[in-house]
Chain A
Amino acid sequence: EDQVTQSPEALRLQEGESSSLNCSYTVSGLRGLFWYRQDPGKGPEFLFTLYSAGEEKEKERLKATLTKKESFLHITAPKPEDSATYLCAATSYTGANSKLTFGKGITLSVRP
């Protein structure tokens, strides 16, 4: 069974204090690794898709990286508006239709 584990569950940072969020995955043939941002009471907002180990993608203060077992979301010099829950999800080649397996999310709080 596919599994996605995110750590830590919650992270509190000071504005400007860079850090990384971890996503470990166990899937039968990774088809894609996805990162989403979710604000309270809203639907997840798509950030990145990574397909193969070694791939990196950047958007503003965020950079996502992928290895064969993990993905990291690096946040450089975060601002209070980066506070949100960050979700990681993986899809595999098993089955006729790709099914996203989500982690429980990491709640990030950035203090001014």
Chain B
Amino acid sequence: SQTIHQWPATLVQPVGSPLSLECTVEGTSNPNLYWYRQAAGRGLQLLFYSVGIGQISSEVPQNLSASRPQDRQFILSSKKLLLSDSGFYLCAWSVGTAGTQYFGPGTRLLVL
């Protein structure tokens, strides 16, 4: 069966520090991968998606970036965090572009 992992589970970072969140998927090949941010009182916001290694599409202009160095690994990064980057970050995967998306456990990021 397929499993999706995210780490760390919780992160507290100062403003201006770098960020690296990692997501890995097991049990499937060539998945579509997604990064979402969920803020209190707002719906899930799609940040990035990837259909293959090295292929990244950005949905929202911001100081975040994403990379996909391996088939089942998706990384969310920032060179300098802003207060507004605080939130709950979720990684998801799907088979194909129309398949159901399955979510990971999430990373809670607090920028102080």
Contacts of B12 in A (CB 8 A): none
The yes or no answer to A100 lying at the interface (CB within 8 A) is yes
B41 touches A100 (CB 8 A): no
The answer to whether B42 touches A104, judged by C-beta atoms less than 8 angstroms apart, is: yes
Q: Given the complex, which residues of A lie within 8 Å of B105, measured CB to CB?
A: 42-43
Chain A interface residue count, Cβ-Cβ cutoff 8 angstroms: 25
Once A and B bind, how many residue pairs between them come within 8 Å at the CB atom?
Answer: 52
CA separation between A46 and B95, bound complex, in Å?
A: 14
Let me know if B51 is at the binding interface, CB within 8 A: yes
Q: Are A87 and B44 in contact, CB atoms less than 8 angstroms apart?
A: yes
Q: Is the CB–CB distance between A91 and B98 below 8 Å?
A: yes
Instruction: Pick the 7 closest A-B CB pairs, nearest first.
Output: A43-B103, A102-B43, A102-B44, A97-B97, A98-B97, A104-B43, A43-B106
A residues in contact (CB < 8 Å) with B: 4, 31-32, 34, 36, 41-46, 49, 87, 89, 91, 96-105
